[in-house]
Structure 1
Amino acid sequence: MKAYLLSLGAGLLVGIVYSLLGVRSPAPPVIALIGLAGILVGEQIVPVAKRLFDRKELATFVTTDCAHHILGQLPTNRKQDA
């Protein structure tokens, strides 16, 4: 949760600086989010390609390492955890 709050805080700070400088953000929010998703998926292309060429178990790698990196730690339902 701390990482999410830090990310939000950094975004707010950048937004305030943009506003004070009188500039608009470089991309509309939806386009920026799609670009970030592309970066996250693109980071996984090289490790997946290495696994393919090394003939290691690709499915396990994608569901563990790639999924965790792209999605991060997903929030849990605290009522179920208690």
Structure 2
Amino acid sequence: MKIYLLSLGAGLLVGVVYSLLQVRSPAPPLVALIGLLGILVGEQLVPVGKQLLSGTAFVAACNKEQAARHVFGQLPGRQEKDNAGDKAEG
């Protein structure tokens, strides 16, 4: 139940921001895509920020938290490399 209330709260917050920006919902495609990018990057701010505060360099923090993989998803051509690495480890 908690996750549903958090989701509702996030939706309300986004609705308020849309209203302040005078953007109708559903947002135009470009506005919506930029908003989704903001969500993906925003999700990585806390874990990467924690790594930075512990003294880890920015690039190392992003690598450790797999921030780029989370934001960009599985990039083309990476699946073969990842599968080969998994087989070598196993």
Q: Deviations over 1:25-57 (max 9, x none)?
A: 611111100000000011111112111111124
> Aligned-pair RMSD on alpha carbons?
2.3
Distance 1:49 1:34 in 2: 22
Which consecutive segments of 4 or more residues in structure 1 shift more than 6 A? Answer: none
Aligned-pair identity in percent equals 54
Letter in 1 for 2:67: C
User: 2:41–2:71: 8 Å Cα contact kept in structure 1?
Assistant: yes
What's the TM-score once normalised by structure 2's chain length? Answer: 0.51
For structure 1, the 5+ residue unaligned runs are 1-23, 78-82
Please identify, of 32-41 and 60-69, the stretch whose mean Cα deviation from structure 2 is larger: 60-69
Partner of 2:56: 56
Number of residue equivalences: 54
Q: Does 1:76 align with 2:72?
A: no
Q: Does 1:32 align with 2:32?
A: yes
Q: 1:26 to 1:50 in 2, by over 3 A?
A: same
What's the TM-score once normalised by structure 1's chain length? Answer: 0.55
Letter in 2 for 1:34: I
